[in-house]
Amino acid sequence: MPEAVELDLILIGFGHVGRRFVRLLDERRDALRAEAGTIARVVGVATARHGCAFDPAGLDATAAAARVEGGGSLADLSPAPPAGALDLIARARASARPSVVVETTVLDVRAGQPAIDHVRAAIAAGAHVVTANKGPAAFAYHDLAAAARAAGVAFLFEGAVMDGIPIFNLVRETMPLVRIEGFRGVINTTTNQILAGLERGEAFDTVLARMQAAGIAEADPSLDLNGWDAAAKTAALANVLMDARLTPHAIQRTGIGPAIAAPAKAALARGRRLKLVASAERRAGTVAGRVEPIELPAGDVLAGLDGPANALVLKTDLLGEVTIVQGAGDLTQTAYALVSDLVAVRRRLGAPPPASGRRTP
Ligand SMILES: NC(=O)c1ccc[n+]([C@@H]2O[C@H](COP(=O)([O-])OP(=O)(O)OC[C@H]3O[C@@H](n4cnc5c(N)ncnc54)[C@H](OP(=O)(O)O)[C@@H]3O)[C@@H](O)[C@H]2O)c1
C-alpha cells in the first residue's frame, strides 16, 4: 500500500462537474487512500455567484455542494472568505502540503478566460493544476505546459475531451515514439444525442432540454450547437497530440440547428448516418482542423455511435488507426477524469513529503 500524501484541493468553479467531483472523492475516499496513497482535502472553493470559502483545516465539501444546490452562498463557511478565484489560488503559497487547483469554470470560446489566468496563477503559486475546462489546452497549451514544467508542477486536463476516457494519457503514457498524423471523431455528446433523437423523430428542442437538465450541455448550449465545444476539443487534441498551435478560432466550423432534421432522417433512410465530425490533419507543414456534419456510410465506426456515445480515431504512423469508443459520457466520468489526474499528481510526488515544507516533484 503506498504511503498516503495529503493534498490540499482548491476548487475554482463548483458547478455540475465540481460538485460531482467532491462527491466522487467522498465515495472513493478509502480506495484513494489505500490504492493511490492520496488523502484529498478540499480547503477552498470559489464560484462566480455563490461566494467563496477557504479553511486550511479543510471544508465539508459535500455540505458545501448541497448548500450551492439549495441556492445558498459559501461566503459564511469560513471566517475570512477569499475575494475571488485569484485571491483563493494565491493562498496555496502558504500551504505546507502540496496544493492542487481544480479548475472547472465555464468554457469561454473567445479567449479561454478566466481559466487560463487561473491556471497561470496556480502554477505561479506552486500548485498543480487539473482541469476539465477545454480553454487552457485549446488556447494556451504550449505556454502553460512550459510554465508548469519550469515550476515543477503538473498541468493535467484529461476531462477536457471525452470525459474520463484517457485520450491524452493513452498517447502520453502508452505510445512512445508514435506520431499522430491526424484524427477524426464524434466528441460532442449533446449534438450526437440531438442527431440521434432527430432520426427517431424527436423534436430538436426536446433533446436539447434533456441534455441541459442532465448537466451535459454546456452552460450556454449554443457552444455545443454551433460547434464551438467540438472546435475547442479539436484544438486541444491537435495542440497536445500533434504539437499544433491552434485555437478554436482556427478550426473550420459548421454546427447544427433544427434544419438538420431532414438531412439526418434522409441519411438514415439511405442506411447512412449524419454525424458532427471533428477532425485534424497535417497539411503543408501545419495542422488543419475542422468540425462539420458529415454523412457517413453504415460501416464507418463513427456511424455506429448511438446517441450518448463518443469515439475518436487516431491516425498514427506506427500503429495505423487506433480507435477509442466511449459508450456514454456523464458527469461521473468527467469527475473521474479529475480524480484520475489527481492520482497522477500523487504519483509524481513519489514518497510523502518531509514534515517541514513543500516537496518538489
Ligand atoms: N458538464 C459536463 O458534462 C462536462 C464534461 C466535460 C467537461 N466539462 C467542462 O467542465 C467545466 C465545468 O462544467 P460544468 O458543467 O460544471 O459548468 P457549470 O455547472 O456551469 O459550473 C461552472 C462553475 O464555474 C463557476 N465560475 C464561473 N466563472 C467563475 C469565475 N470567474 N470564478 C470562479 N468561479 C466561476 C460557476 O459559479 P456559479 O455557480 O456561481 O455560477 C460554477 O460554479 C466547463 O469548462 C465544461 O466545458 C463539462
pLDDT tens-place string over residues 154-196: 999 999 999 889 999 999 999 999 999 999 999 999 999 999 9
Which protein residues are within 6 Å of ligand 1, measured from CB? 12-18, 46-50, 85, 104-107, 114, 132-134, 159, 163, 215-216, 218-219, 331, 334
Element (H, E) at 65: helix 61-69
CA-nearest residue for atom 11, ligand 1, is 104
What is the average per-residue pLDDT within 339-353? Answer: 88
The DSSP output letter for 328 is -
What is the average per-residue pLDDT within 96-104? Answer: 97
* Pocket test residue of 11, 106, 332 for ligand 1, highest count of atoms within 8 A of CB: 106
CA 80 to chain centre: 30
CB-based contact 10:91 (threshold 8 Å) = yes
β partners of residue 283: 286
Residue 235, pLDDT > 80, answer: yes
What local confidence, expressed as pLDDT, does residue 216 receive?
A: 82
Q: What does the radius of gyration of the chain's CA atoms come to, in whole angstroms?
A: 21
Task: Give catalytic residue positions.
Answer: 233
Write out the three cell numbers for 347.
504519483
What local confidence, expressed as pLDDT, does residue 1 receive?
A: 65
Quickly state the pLDDT bin for 358 (edges 50, 70, 90).
very low
Strands 99-103 and 128-131: parallel
What is the average per-residue pLDDT within 285-305? Answer: 96
* Pocket test residue of 45, 88, 105, 332 for ligand 1, highest count of atoms within 8 A of CB: 105
pTM (2 d.p.): 0.94
pLDDT digits (tens, 9 = 90+) for 15-39: 999 999 999 999 999 999 999 999 9
What is the average per-residue pLDDT within 242-251? Answer: 98
CB-based contact 345:100 (threshold 8 Å) = yes
CA 314 to chain centre: 19
β partners of residue 291: 253, 278
CB-based contact 311:326 (threshold 8 Å) = yes
The separation between the first and the last C-alpha atoms of the chain, rounded to the nearest angstrom, is 20
Quickly state the pLDDT bin for 360 (edges 50, 70, 90).
very low
Closest CA to 308 of 180, 184, 214: 214
Backbone dihedral region for residue 302 (phi beyond 0: left; psi -120 to 50: alpha; all else: beta)? alpha
What is the average per-residue pLDDT within 222-248? Answer: 97
Ligand 1 geometric centre to CA of 8 (Å): 20
User: Which residues, other chains included, contact 299 with Cβ-Cβ below 8 Å and sequence gap of 6+?
Assistant: none
Quickly state the pLDDT bin for 352 (edges 50, 70, 90).
low
Residue 19 CA: which ligand 1 atom is closest? 16
Ligand 1 geometric centre to CA of 338 (Å): 13
pLDDT digits (tens, 9 = 90+) for 102-132: 999 999 999 999 999 999 999 999 999 999 9
What local confidence, expressed as pLDDT, does residue 179 receive?
A: 98
CA-nearest residue for atom 18, ligand 1, is 15
Residue 133 CA: which ligand 1 atom is closest? 45
Ligand 1 geometric centre to CA of 331 (Å): 12
Distance, CA of 301 to CA of 317 (rounded, Å) = 20
Distance, CA of 54 to CA of 304 (rounded, Å) = 47
Ligand 1 geometric centre to CA of 92 (Å): 21
Ligand 1 geometric centre to CA of 49 (Å): 12
User: Which residues, other chains included, contact 168 with Cβ-Cβ below 8 Å and sequence gap of 6+?
Assistant: 156, 157, 158, 161, 240, 241
Residue percentage of the chain with pLDDT more than 70: 97
Distance, CA of 44 to CA of 64 (rounded, Å) = 11
